Structure 1
Amino acid sequence: MTVPQPPEPIPGARLLFSLDPSVSHLNHGSFGAVPIGVQRAQQRLRDEMEANPLRFFAEGLVDRIAHTRRHLARFIGADPEGTALVGNATTGVAVVLQSLGLRPGEEVLTTDHGYGAVAFSVARECRRTGAVSRTLPVPLNATDEEVVDIIRTGLRPGRTRLLIVDQITSPTARLFPTAAIVGVAREQGIPVLVDGAHAPGMLPITVASVGADFWVGNLHKWAYTPRGTAALVVAEPWRERIEPLVVSWEQDSGFPARVEWQATLDYTSWLAAPAGPFTLRSLGPDRVRAHNAALAAYGQRVVGDALGVAPSHLPEPGGPTMAMRLIPLPPGVATTIDAARALRSRIAERLAAEVSVAAWNGRGWLRLCGQVYNTPDEYDRLAVRLPTLLAQG
């Protein structure tokens, strides 16, 4: 089988970013990259804030946040009245968990593809309340139908209080059939929280069509907003039950303002956030998604070939717009969290390449992303140099 051809670059896209050109930034999915124009939009807001802090915070800021929220809700296809801006997806998950009122014996059900910080949040809330957490193993190569069947079988009506599933999994770069999963859970009366951390911008999503009781997603990854910009979308029956992690002056305003207003936070990331989707639209969302997915597929194959991984053993992401790809590392490499972190640092220091390395199900995995600022030669260089680094132990 031939290596897939890399896409044609989008003219001028690399110049939109202030990334260090001496480093191959192949891990957009972790922290994103903020375009220069978006950086400048936020800086103008910071200048406004510092010129007169009292005026900035006391005169109309709540309304400005609400205006921004409406823009971003439209971008992700969500009801603005059911959408709250939060700092990141993990924060949104914590808001939902502490608002549920879990009781002893009830359970929160997750899969083994979930994000680590979400698992920590679930464990903490279970310790506080006496509830329990349970994790369903889902094979990496499971079909969508198999994933739905595994979750259907794992649900326990009357005991399972919340199901948490990822729209795009972080450690395994897998697209889950969330709408079908939500439908199965609804048949059994079990609410669902969809962790869509990577979805906005990468996928042409409409949150309302997923139908989840709760949905959280970051916009500072694939939608080019300033970091610290995420959305928590809550179905109408749950909105009055949602409480913020910290109570402040908008508490009596109800959801979503009570969740958004956290006193003297730096709200400039939210106010500047619409400039991110504007940048995406100016480049052409379909064009960007096709480019990024094709580039990630190219990177997966050339690095996989260099590591001796047969194409049949390279996980398929489950969608043509997936801009993250996974490569299994040799047996015994990066099989623990600490070892994965150490390898990521070595790759960054010695190969001048930023990648994601994760330990999942007893094996190390390399995750590569494709973004408009990347070029095929960055993956080629990694493919040439990575085997030697791994052989050095």
Structure 2
Amino acid sequence: MSTAGPPPPVPIPGARLLFSLDPGVAHLNHGSYGAVPIGVQRAQQRLRDETEANPMRFFNRGLVDRITHARRHLARFLGADPDGTALIGNVTIGAAVVLQSVGLEPGDEVLCTDHGYGSFALSIDREARRTGAVRRTLTVPLTATDEEVVEIVRAGIRPGRTKLLVVDQLTSSTARLFPAAAIAAVARERDVPVLVDGAHAPGMLPVPVDSLGADFWIGNLHKWCFAPRGTAALVVAPRWRSRMEPLAVSWEEESGFPKRVEWQATLDYTPWLAAPVGVFTLRTLGLDRVRAHNAELAAYGQRVVGRALGIAPADLIEPGGPTVSMRLLPLPAGIGTTFPDAIALRQRIGDELGAEVAVNPWRERGWLRLSGQIYNRADEYDRLAERLPALLATLG
């Protein structure tokens, strides 16, 4: 099969052996749930064993300090202020914390874009029902330039009404890279706080969090940082830290942010304590090397699968640009245009083709999202390209 472009990157030797993934499946959707290296799994299991050997000792003798140490290590990796960073379970939890802390009132609006993650919209709507605020959504074309995106946001902000602006750093459904720093600067001019959803940023994007200038930033470390699932970070600008309210009150309530948000009694803290091992693994492999490999491999997958779907290389959409490890392909018209249909198609691809991918509906069209990670090989995308058209043909 002609790849209609440059070859995929040379595999990183031994990388696949670092994971316990089923070798009979092509795992082409790292972006959704990540994959935890075996060494990180073992580190977390040792912590679980420590917990169960003496729960009283584990929870009551130095655990808060151990969490603080892990947080400081992870915050430095993210380029964030450790004293303004709280470890949380995932970005959706972080969004809920921010939404209930900014003080929404009747008549206020939370402004977002139509590229935002679905659970964020649900979180905003729930808080809006509780407070009398509203959610307003800006339409941003998939192929808009950064300058056009900034102008859309600038025109959409309504001073005096817009209480919070929510913007993605890298979108989940459309793999679109947004000019988050420029958007945050526009919002600051109008004194509107900004929440940046950086779910896919840690480990993939070489952008220090503090350089974005956001009031709030949240990101998952279990996707591209090899941390155990249930590890994320909420970074808060100094002027907001005293106002951050946890979802549930704990014994660290009087300690202030970040401990009052982090400490949730008998939560399983082993993912956070093991997360630095994931960062160590990433750095040992070579951070720049991994990023370049993954982005090139995702681009290769987009080319070969796109060619199989009849999409010429010149027509491929790259909303994230060349440095992003996720790529997008439009599905034939009428396929995967609703969430139930997208889920059904994703499951059929997994069951019948032995490939795990992401399928999302967006603007009344179905989209296939492919990821690239160090455990992937070029032939996995080749096999998907060979077999996917026949499966799609059965859907009309």
Q: Which residue of 2 aligns with 1:112?
A: 114
Q: Which residue of 1 aligns with 2:221?
A: 219
> Offset of 1:315 from its aligned partner?
1.3
2:281 and 2:350 map into 1 onto residues whose CA distance is 28
The amino acid that maps onto 2:153 is: I
1:103 to 98, 102, 105: 105
Q: Identify unmatched segments of 5+ residues in structure 2.
A: none
Q: Which residue of 2 aligns with 1:4?
A: 6
2:176 and 2:21 map into 1 onto residues whose CA distance is 27
Q: Which residue of 2 aligns with 1:163?
A: 165
Contact 1:4 1:301 in 2 (8 A): no
The amino acid that maps onto 1:311 is: P
Q: Which residue of 1 aligns with 2:32?
A: 30
Instruction: Give per-residue Cα distances to partners, 1:99-135, cap 9 Å, x unaligned.
Output: 1120001000000000001111001000110000000
Q: Identify unmatched segments of 5+ residues in structure 1.
A: none
Pair 1:354 & 2:356 matched: yes
2:22 to 17, 20, 23: 20
* Paired positions, count: 393
2:354 and 2:130 map into 1 onto residues whose CA distance is 43
Contact 1:138 1:147 in 2 (8 A): yes
Instruction: Give per-residue Cα distances to partners, 1:340-386, cap 9 Å, x unaligned.
Output: 01100110110010000000001000000000000000000000000
> Offset of 1:313 from its aligned partner?
2.9
Question: The residue matched to 2:112 in structure 1 has which SS?
Answer: strand
Contact 2:297 2:372 in 1 (8 A): yes
Pair 1:248 & 2:250 matched: yes
Matches within 5 A, 1:71-110: 71-110=73-112
Pair 1:340 & 2:342 matched: yes
Point out the more displaced range, 285-294 or 306-315.
306-315
> Offset of 1:5 from its aligned partner?
1.4
> Offset of 1:321 from its aligned partner?
2.0
Question: The residue matched to 2:275 in structure 1 has which SS?
Answer: coil
Q: Which residue of 2 aligns with 1:141?
A: 143
Contact 2:298 2:327 in 1 (8 A): yes
Instruction: Give per-residue Cα distances to partners, 1:198-249, cap 9 Å, x unaligned.
Output: 0000111200000100000000000000000000000000000000001111
The amino acid that maps onto 1:67 is: H
1:202 and 1:319 map into 2 onto residues whose CA distance is 13
Q: Which residue of 2 aligns with 1:229?
A: 231
Question: The residue matched to 2:178 in structure 1 has which SS?
Answer: coil
Point out the more displaced range, 303-312 or 106-115.
303-312
2:320 and 2:358 map into 1 onto residues whose CA distance is 20
Q: Which residue of 1 aligns with 2:378?
A: 376
Q: Which residue of 2 aligns with 1:274?
A: 276
The amino acid that maps onto 2:362 is: W
The amino acid that maps onto 1:6 is: P
Pair 1:385 & 2:387 matched: yes
1:305 and 1:4 map into 2 onto residues whose CA distance is 14
The amino acid that maps onto 1:347 is: I
> Offset of 1:2 from its aligned partner?
2.9
Contact 2:342 2:359 in 1 (8 A): yes
The amino acid that maps onto 2:130 is: R
The amino acid that maps onto 2:5 is: V
Pair 1:302 & 2:304 matched: yes
1:40 and 1:222 map into 2 onto residues whose CA distance is 18
1:43 to 24, 42, 45: 45
Q: Which residue of 2 aligns with 1:330?
A: 332
Question: The residue matched to 1:274 in structure 2 has which SS?
Answer: helix
Q: TM-score, normalised by structure 2?
A: 0.98
Question: The residue matched to 2:67 in structure 1 has which SS?
Answer: helix
1:210 to 209, 212, 216: 212
The amino acid that maps onto 1:228 is: G
1:219 and 1:225 map into 2 onto residues whose CA distance is 6
1:388 and 1:319 map into 2 onto residues whose CA distance is 30
Matches within 5 A, 1:279-298: 279-298=281-300
2:235 and 2:296 map into 1 onto residues whose CA distance is 30
2:160 and 2:268 map into 1 onto residues whose CA distance is 42
Query: What is the root-mean-square deviation in Å for CA atoms of aligned residues?
Result: 0.8
Contact 2:170 2:198 in 1 (8 A): yes
> Offset of 1:312 from its aligned partner?
3.2
The amino acid that maps onto 2:41 is: Q
Instruction: Give per-residue Cα distances to partners, 1:138-161, cap 9 Å, x unaligned.
Output: 000000000001000000000000
The amino acid that maps onto 1:113 is: H
2:364 and 2:115 map into 1 onto residues whose CA distance is 13
Contact 1:86 1:229 in 2 (8 A): yes
1:319 and 1:285 map into 2 onto residues whose CA distance is 19
Point out the more displaced range, 304-313 or 151-160.
304-313
Question: The residue matched to 1:164 in structure 2 has which SS?
Answer: strand
Contact 1:240 1:255 in 2 (8 A): yes
Contact 1:109 1:164 in 2 (8 A): yes
The amino acid that maps onto 2:276 is: P
Q: Which residue of 2 aligns with 1:192?
A: 194
1:54 to 53, 56, 64: 56
